[in-house]
Chains A and B, each alone.
Chain A
Amino acid sequence: MSGARVGVLVFPGSLDDRDMMRSLGLLGAEVQAIWHKDARLPELDGIGVPGGFSYGDYLRAGAMARFSPVMRAVLEFAASGRPVLGVCNGFQILCEAGLLPGALVRNRDLKFICQDVRVAVEDPGNFRAELPPGRTLVMPVKHGDGAYVPDPEHKPRVAFRYVGGSPNGSTDDIAGVANAAGNVVGLMPHPEHAVDPLLGSTDGAPLLRSFLAACLATRARR
């Protein structure tokens, strides 16, 4: 898996950029931080959009980040078929940017949720190396705006579904989706917080390795 070159976006208010960089690095990727003002990307095989509260989540979660200079480059990057993974606020940003269908709204019970959840894999697009349908993964969620609402005009490709009901009121218990092309995947649970046994679960590792495998596969094709 070594050698996939991954850029992790850093917005004002990103929180999980360090964890995402560290976890991908532990799994063998060459990782670099990409500042939100960078309109040009270095040579990359994949992009990670981390969690946090970009721009304070003012207006709507992810709404402002979408207009960062770097996002134009990310749109082109995604359009070229290369992998993009969005986690939590990163998922919200990808939805706001139109790279993923649907939107995320306030949790059903208005509470910030911080707990481990179990999700079942369904159709994680190109990130399927270690994610056969039906495999379940335990990862933490920590969010206030995690209820997924599908776009009535674009039926989502459901990548992950909460097992035993969603904690946040997500439509059809959807925890993560993929775009039609399969190269952009977003989810609310945090794989980057679940790669070290010290933190209770290592189920995030197969997900991140599947992302890195997709990175290398697209590089091989180019």
Chain B
Amino acid sequence: MKLRVLVSLKPGVLDAQGRAIEHALRDLGHAQVKGVRTGKLVVLDLDTPDPASARALASELCEKLLANPVIEQYEILS
């Protein structure tokens, strides 16, 4: 089954890319934009017997490689 994992910088860690996008959007006249954070979407195709073990595996892969817990957080979407 396919699982999508969202990896992003933790709040408080400077997201230079997000900030540059935020400035660009405001420069385009969208003063309502108060903040932009970016992340990485990783789509995993996993051969596991059931959704629960797929999620457990995805979580393990995040801890091991996909996210660096010092600076990043992850969320398993679906």
Interface of B is mostly: mixed
In the complex, the answer to whether A103 meets B65 with C-beta atoms within 8 Å is no
A104 vs B49: C-alpha distance when bound (angstroms): 37
Instruction: State the Cβ distance, B39 to closest chain A Cβ, in Å.
Output: 13
In the complex, the answer to whether A151 meets B16 with C-beta atoms within 8 Å is no
Partner of B14 from the list A64, A101, A147 (CB cut-off 8 Å) is A147
Whether a CB of chain A sits under 8 angstroms from the CB of B53 is no
Q: Which residue of chain B lies nearest to A168 when distances are taken between CB atoms in the complex? A: B16
In the complex, the answer to whether A169 meets B14 with C-beta atoms within 8 Å is yes
Q: Count the A residues whose beta carbon is within 8 Å of the partner chain — how many?
A: 20
Whether a CB of chain B sits under 8 angstroms from the CB of A27 is no
Whether a CB of chain B sits under 8 angstroms from the CB of A105 is yes
In the complex, the answer to whether A109 meets B71 with C-beta atoms within 8 Å is no
> A63-B65, A108-B16, A169-B16 known; 20 other A-B pairs, CB under 8 Å?
A59-B65, A60-B68, A95-B70, A101-B70, A102-B70, A103-B68, A105-B9, A105-B14, A105-B71, A106-B16, A106-B17, A108-B14, A109-B16, A110-B16, A147-B14, A147-B16, A149-B13, A149-B14, A149-B71, A169-B14
Interface residues of A, Cβ cutoff 8 Å to B: 59-60, 63-64, 67, 95-96, 101-103, 105-110, 147, 149, 151, 169
The 9 closest A-B pairs by CB, nearest first: A103-B70, A103-B71, A106-B16, A151-B70, A110-B16, A149-B71, A103-B68, A108-B16, A110-B20
Interface residues of B, Cβ cutoff 8 Å to A: 9, 13-14, 16-17, 20, 65-66, 68, 70-71
29 pairs, CB–CB < 8 Å, chain A vs chain B: A59-B65, A59-B66, A63-B65, A63-B68, A64-B65, A67-B65, A95-B70, A96-B68, A103-B68, A103-B70, A103-B71, A105-B9, A105-B13, A105-B14, A105-B16, A106-B16, A106-B17, A107-B16, A108-B16, A109-B16, A110-B16, A110-B20, A147-B16, A149-B13, A149-B14, A149-B70, A151-B70, A169-B14, A169-B16
